[in-house]
A and B are shown apart, each in its own frame.
Chain A
Amino acid sequence: QLQLQESGPGLVKPSETLSLTCTVSGGSISSSYYWGWIRQPPGKGLEWIGSIYYSGSAYYNPSLKSRVTISVDSSKNHFSLKLSSVTAADTAVYSCAGFCSGGLCLDYWGQGALVTVSS
């Protein structure tokens, strides 16, 4: 059973870069899963940010694509999110998840981490 845990600063200043890491335990990141970041602003719905395969192939939400980079480090069994030029609108709970390729097995979710953008 996979476990995912987000880590990173809970407070980021406007115009700076938000950085989060998701550590995967209980299994290899180089498996039949692909890995994603999702966020939920206070009082709003879920928004998919982007996903990445262990090969490094990534794809992003078009609305965020110009500011997002997702990377994977197989040696550390983790993947990371960078969101640049943040504003207050980027304040949200950020969650990482492992999605079963083909949908035939379980997905796994992290607890989520609140990131506040404020000076």
Chain B
Amino acid sequence: SYELTQPSSVSVSPGQTARITCSGDVLAKKYGRWFQQKPGQAPVLVIYKDSERPSGIPERFSGSSSGTAVTLTISGAQVDDEADYYCYSAPDNNPVVFGGGTKLTVL
């Protein structure tokens, strides 16, 4: 079965660039997505189709893909960006696969 691996935590100072990489064989064939989750709130999709940003998501959020990995980059991270970030892949007619989540700390 497919698995996705991402770091459990990333820490940056405000204004710095945060990068979270997610790796797994499924990403070589299927798009990666990222969502942000804050305590008690619904997940918010921040990247889909590896690098597309939904409307309303700040431009400091970007995504990239290379081989079996996708990377979420937050350029000029803000305190409000502190959250858990999950990568996942949802190929049609196949299981949805999630990474373990990354806790981003901005302080």
Contacts and interface: CB of A to CB of B under 8 A. Distances in A.
A binds B: yes
B54 interface: yes
B96 A106 contact: no
Among B42, B45, B96, B98, the one with the most A-chain Cβ atoms within 10 Å of its Cβ is B96
Interface in A75-113: 95, 99-112
Nearest to B32: A103
Contacts of A112: 42
Interface in A37-96: 38, 45-48, 51, 59, 61, 95
A103 B33 contact: yes
B49 A104 contact: yes
Contacts, number: 58
B3 to A, nearest CB: 11
Contacts of B43: 95, 109
Interface residues of B, number: 26
Among B30, B49, B97, the one with the most A-chain Cβ atoms within 10 Å of its Cβ is B49
Contacts of A46: 86, 88, 98, 101
A103 B49 contact: yes
A102 B29 CA distance: 11
B98 A48 contact: yes
A59 B91 CA distance: 12
A38 B96 CA distance: 9
Contact of A36 (B31, B41, B93, B96): B96
15 contacts: A36-B96, A38-B96, A45-B98, A45-B101, A48-B95, A99-B90, A102-B92, A103-B31, A103-B89, A103-B90, A104-B49, A106-B48, A107-B35, A107-B48, A109-B42
Interface of A: 34, 36, 38, 45-48, 51, 59, 61, 95, 99-112
